[in-house]
Amino acid sequence: MRSPSDGFGPDHLPYGSVVTEEGRRLAVVRIGDAVLDLSPLGLFDQGSLDRLLGAGPETWRQVRGAVTDRLGSDPALIPLDRVRPVLPFSVADYADFYANEHHAANAGRILRPGGDPLSPNWKHLPVGYHGRSASVVVSGTEVRRPSGQYRDADGAVRFGPSQRMDFEAEVGFVVGVGNPPGTAIPVADFAAHVFGVVLLNDWSARDLQFWESAPLGPFLGKSFATSVSAWVTPLVALEAAWTAPPPRDPRPLPYLDDSADPSGLDLALEVAVNGSVVSRPSFASMYWTPAQLLAHLTVNGAPTRPGDLFGSGTVSGPRREERGCLLELTENGADPLRLGDGSRRGYLEDRDEVVITATAATNGGRVALGEVRGAIAP
């Protein structure tokens, strides 16, 4: 049995932001079940990671070195249960992709039966959409069931609370150093721009989404809330987790060609609903890698800024128990899941709680990414 502090050892040191019992906001690093106040290190007077993100890889290295030094000198730590984590950085822009072939093929098969499950562009570019940064919330925040337009089974168009609330198990990437307008970020420059990794739940109201999405894609069915973990794992803590992505055919265009350094990330995800594990997807199965996502996002000259967040898209695998959302797990509600308490779910009910966790190999152990937890409020 894993203790809550496992995976948060000195080889991990994820960053976050907390509010203390005295009401002070502090930028911190997590070690085990405690946090280290970063205020003495400079850069952190706002209590957030905003200035650190924009400072760049050399500063990221120096700060991590300084944190390691301080931890070696037995500093005063604050127990995790005496602080409340808050969103650790100001989310600049948010984009979400659709970069897992198993998810895209399952979704295509369920939504367009008889057609080609993948759209003709899918193996040529990472399909994505621009989302809403203002509704990105930290793990633990309740998510209100949205209302909107949907078309019900008899074809009538209605307005009301979503009847098909879903989660999407994803991995999010936090941009530190942005790119100016008119420039792009090549695949090879990923680590010079991206600071770290969070777990992400791209909550989805499927009935709203399916009715509104033609022809422009997701809008209100996604923009009401996106949850991210309270802890940002720096890329450097995941150095042992890089792996070869699946073979790509056809070979991507030159700006997406990563054959010189193909960099998939091997993260083992787990999704639980009300304490019952419903899925264990592997991020190593992603067709498009995080570096390709960022290269595509900027190839038209679109700028990015410190705090930009981009999601991978739902992480799914070839087997049923590796599917990362209820749309796939329950065939759009037609084949409900049975939870540990014997109850059945086609889609989420009010008060249901979804928790996404993940671990990655390090040299000699595993790191645990910060969990992303959220419950549905009526």
Indicate which residues carry an active-site annotation.
103
User: Which of 37, 50, 93, 96 touches Mn ion (CB under 5 A)?
Assistant: 96
Window of 16-24, 39-47, 72-80, 163-171 that interacts with Mn ion by CB under 5 A: 163-171
Q: Does 166 bind Mn ion (CB under 5 A)?
A: no
Nearer to Mn ion, 37 or 202 (CB): 202
Name the residue number minimizing CB distance to Mn ion: 202
Q: By rule CB under 5 A, what count of residues binds Mn ion?
A: 3
User: Which of 202, 207, 258, 371 touches Mn ion (CB under 5 A)?
Assistant: 202
Window of 12-20, 91-99, 146-154, 360-368 that interacts with Mn ion by CB under 5 A: 91-99
Least separation in angstroms between residue 207's CB and Mn ion is 16
Nearer to Mn ion, 50 or 96 (CB): 96
Window of 7-15, 24-32, 146-154, 198-206 that interacts with Mn ion by CB under 5 A: 198-206
Least separation in angstroms between residue 159's CB and Mn ion is 24
Nearer to Mn ion, 13 or 315 (CB): 315
Least separation in angstroms between residue 228's CB and Mn ion is 13
Q: What's the chain look like in SS3?
A: CCCCCCCCCCCCCCEEEEEECCCCEEEEEEECCEEEECHHHCCCCCCCCHHHHHHCHHHHHHHHHHHHHHHHCCCCCEEHHHEEEECCCCCCCEEEECCCHHHHHHHHHHHCCCCCCCCCCCCCCCCEEECCHHHEEECCCCEECCEEEEECCCCCEEEEECCCEECEEEEEEEECCCECCCCCCCHHHHHHHEEEEEEEECCEEHHHHHHHCCCCCCCHHHHCCEEECCCEEEHHHHHHHEECCCCCCCCCCHHHCCCCCCCEECEEEEEEECCEEEECCEHHHCCCCHHHHHHHHHCCCCCECCCCEEECCCCCCCCHHHCCEHHHHCCCCCCCEECCCCCEECCCCCCCEEEEEEEEEECCEEEEEEEEEEEEEC
Least separation in angstroms between residue 205's CB and Mn ion is 12
Binding mask 167-186 for Mn ion (x = CB under 5 A): -x------------------
Window of 24-32, 130-138, 195-203, 345-353 that interacts with Mn ion by CB under 5 A: 195-203
Interface with Mn ion by CB under 5 A: which residues?
Answer: 96, 168, 202
